[in-house]
A and B are shown apart, each in its own frame.
Chain A
């Protein structure tokens, strides 16, 4: 039993997106519950990835491979977890705010959050406040993530938060923000719940916001 857990966490640590789904299936076949596979295998591997990244022993390209492997495993586990009524980390609605065409940083955070076990609704870039509001209504996410790359567009994050407030939805979600010109102080000023300075930090923050870290 512990052998399959160890193999799973190693596959995550090594960023092996081919092996991980196979090992997930093998674990399920051996009679483990989806929750056991997730908690004792995949999450253990991903936690170690976080530790090594912080220590400087792993770098972003490797962390992304691990996140990919995690996502490949979750593809199998998620429907089963939903079916069994297990508590999931929830959804994150992600978007780069209005006027800003930068897509990549936000996608990296999305991948990392997916690797951490969240489900991602990616709204793309140049996202109008209304589109965020409709997505909240439709998907009922736990978290809304916003990104801006430019000092000229970062204020749109504040406008979007205001619009969410005016739609009466602010209390239903946590909001976290990021992007090159953004810092903690700015995030506080516009009334965000959190600020992530890089992709792995963003995933860590998302977990904290839903009380899972």
Chain B
């Protein structure tokens, strides 16, 4: 239309300058080259040595050229596919695209019927997956809990087996060890139609966690190597706590956490060049009176924003955090903390925002928090979608046609745009007082509860293939056999 016409159609957030990001980036390289990390894993030490890292016992230092090479190999944009081929449930990771989903491993759960807090159990898994599958603004699935009522080594496997048939949105799978990882992969590959088909259209993401400060544990690297060998998109996400296991300052924790993540990156890219790699993770403060890792602190959003900018500066997608709270129940605190961090995450364009639905500082998962946050994500997404300016949207002719003291409700222009230009809430109430009163003065909590009940009663996820069901049974019975004497 016009040359050199600048378009800024979405709301953008930029905190740090390129100069500041370069300083952080150089700080990470410095830590990796001069301080190094502990690596408790023989195979990884071999891989690192071969790639050019300096290995001294368990201490590994990585020269900066090798880190830069690893960053160069990892893609910034890639796609994770729905298991059933539904394109709406694919996740396209790339600049300007923020996605959302729950987190893993809370010991407790808010019961979907009674709303009481109790240990997380196996039968909660399908319910969480169904709710994820139904919510329009939740893009990927995690289980919101650690299954307590199966053998203690098999929680992760039962989780995946419970989620996979109940949502076709991509799952982010964590595991205890490489045995879990192998079982999970067998199920996903069965559905994809074999390893080759999986590599072309990966249908889940593998999640592992190093230890802060500066330790890569054997289990984490077992899982990382499994994912790299099988070309499973990988999240390597530390959880440093400012003032406890990381520097108290935001810039300091960002540098340390990035170094922990990029150690994983270097191993993964040495083993499988071009493996989709997502750096993490959860960066927040240790509350110096309660000693908790705060999931509702403003510093969480701030640190995650800085980390997102560093990740994007380095050319990696980020495992963001938001939609979570320190509150113990579905109350005003939960909604304030959750909504603000969701909005902030959306503004940063952090690629996969997880822990949506965490309450009690990650001790208790809640589909009610998740469902309320789905509303906040929709709200935030409408804002970040921004304002489109063109001849049609400027509506100068329409204004002229309607003129003074007319109205726009009958205009074709209105009818064409009102459904996309406006966002419509699912559970926020906009009716007048009388209508609200007539329906029993329902609160946000009541409406959220009703929406969850409605989803659980009516939502039907697309089924998995019958042969995959058999593979799930086989994987579970083999796993039970393996652990029966432990």
Contacts and interface: CB of A to CB of B under 8 A. Distances in A.
Interface of A: 59-62, 64-65, 68, 101, 103-104, 107-108, 183-184, 197-198
Nearest to B414: A61
A26 to B, nearest CB: 26
The 10 closest A-B pairs by CB, nearest first: A104-B407, A197-B432, A61-B415, A61-B414, A61-B409, A64-B409, A103-B405, A64-B410, A184-B434, A60-B409
A59 B418 contact: yes
Contacts of A61: 409-410, 414-415, 418
A38 to B, nearest CB: 24
B5 interface: no
Listed residue (A59, A61, A62, A184) with the most chain B CB atoms within 10 angstroms of its CB: A61
Interface in B388-432: 405-407, 409-410, 414-415, 418-419, 432
B435 interface: yes
Nearest to B435: A197
Nearest to B417: A61
Determine chain A's interface SS by DSSP, over half rule.
helix
Given A59-B418, A61-B418, A62-B415, A197 B434 contact: yes
12 contacts: A59-B418, A59-B419, A61-B409, A61-B410, A61-B414, A62-B415, A64-B409, A104-B406, A107-B407, A108-B407, A108-B409, A198-B432
Contacts of B406: 104
Contacts of B405: 101, 103-104
A162 B434 CA distance: 26
Interface residues of B, number: 13
B404 to A, nearest CB: 10
A103 B409 CA distance: 14
A183 B434 contact: yes
Interface of B: 405-407, 409-410, 414-415, 418-419, 432-435
A183 B432 CA distance: 9
A61 B439 CA distance: 25
Contacts, number: 29
A64 B411 CA distance: 10
A61 B411 CA distance: 8
A35 B352 CA distance: 61
A99 B407 CA distance: 20
Contacts of A183: 433-434
A188 to B, nearest CB: 12
Contacts of A65: 410, 415
Contacts of B414: 61
Contacts of B418: 59, 61
Contacts of A197: 432, 434-435
Given A59-B419, A61-B410, A101-B405, 14 more contacts: A59-B418, A60-B409, A61-B415, A64-B410, A65-B410, A104-B405, A104-B406, A104-B407, A107-B407, A183-B433, A197-B432, A197-B434, A197-B435, A198-B432
Contacts of B407: 104, 107-108
A49 to B, nearest CB: 15
A64 B433 CA distance: 24
A159 B453 CA distance: 50
Contacts of A107: 407
A197 B406 CA distance: 21
B463 to A, nearest CB: 28
A183 B406 CA distance: 25
A183 B437 CA distance: 13
B440 to A, nearest CB: 16
Contacts of B432: 197-198
A68 B434 contact: no
A107 B415 CA distance: 18
B451 to A, nearest CB: 13
A37 to B, nearest CB: 25
A68 B410 contact: yes
B428 to A, nearest CB: 13
Contacts of A101: 405
B401 to A, nearest CB: 15
A107 B407 CA distance: 9
Listed residue (B406, B409, B419, B432) with the most chain A CB atoms within 10 angstroms of its CB: B409
Nearest to B426: A56
Nearest to B412: A61
